[in-house]
Amino acid sequence: MEAELHIEDTASTKNWIAVTTHTNSEELALTNIERQGFIGYCPKLLKTRRHARKTEEVKRPLFPGYIFVLIDTAHDQWRPIEYSKGVRSIVKFGNRLSYLPKGLMETIIERESSCGYILPETKNLDLKVGQKMRVTTDSVFEGIIGTILSVESKDRIWILLDLLNRKVKTEISASSLCKLN
């Protein structure tokens, strides 16, 4: 059961919170939270899974181990969320709820296709094996130059980075790369 995510009330009392789940329990937690009347969301990506000579496209959480819940901070009792099946805890600072920045979840929801998964950002980079690329700001490897080793799919690239005088092979999103000038 997937909830409709058309949130029209932009009142300041409505906020998204992050909820951590037990391993591979995102759907269980989401179902139990929605049964309590909350709006829950677990953004998913379409990934290629290869196993026993079979290849298939499967939906996987964009943020494994996390779901997001829209609560009305003025009226909703959020404590029952913590005790829902599949939920590990709510992300908080001490005893205070930690709210996601306004507009963040709405931006993710807008990128969702009609099939129910997040569409990757596409850049026309014309990626080639051996090409030198710079890692952009949306990665922990910001500013580091690497060499493309292979292009697995439209949005997953294996790149060789030079970190602290050591060569490190890592998988990175194509949207995190830009061409060198």
pLDDT digits (tens, 9 = 90+) for 121-164: 545 567 788 888 888 765 667 788 889 888 766 567 888 888 77
Q: Which has the closest alpha carbon to 177: 149, 150, 153, 143?
A: 143
Render pLDDT for 49-68 as a digit per residue (tens, 0 to 9): 777 877 777 888 989 999 99
Q: Under CATH, which number does the domain 132-179 receive?
A: 2.30.30.30
Q: In which residue are the tokens 């001490």 written?
A: 94
Q: State the pLDDT confidence band at 171, using cuts at 50, 70 and 90.
A: confident
Question: What pLDDT does 5 receive?
Answer: 55
Question: What pLDDT does 36 receive?
Answer: 94
Q: Can you read off the two tokens belonging to residue 119? A: 């569409």
- Look at residue 18 and tell me whether its pLDDT is greater than 50: yes
Q: How many helices (H) and strands (E) does the chain have?
A: 3, 13
Q: Considering the chain, tell me which residue range(s) the CATH 2.30.30.30 domain(s) occupy.
A: 132-179
Host H or E run for residue 107: helix 104-110
Question: What pLDDT does 1 receive?
Answer: 42
Render pLDDT for 62-90 as a digit per residue (tens, 0 to 9): 899 999 999 998 888 888 999 999 999 99
Q: Considering the chain, tell me which residue range(s) the CATH 3.30.70.940 domain(s) occupy.
A: 14-110
Render pLDDT for 114-128 as a digit per residue (tens, 0 to 9): 777 776 554 556 778
Question: What pLDDT does 19 receive?
Answer: 96
Assigned CATH topology for domain 14-110: Alpha-Beta Plaits (3.30.70)
> Of the spans 35-39, 110-114, 171-175, which averages the highest pLDDT?
35-39
User: For 6-35, what is the mean pLDDT?
Assistant: 84
- Look at residue 34 and tell me whether its pLDDT is greater than 70: yes
CA distance 82 to 73: 15
Which amino acid belongs to residue 83? Y
Question: What pLDDT does 2 receive?
Answer: 47
Average pLDDT over the chain, rounded to an integer? 82
pTM of the model: 0.62
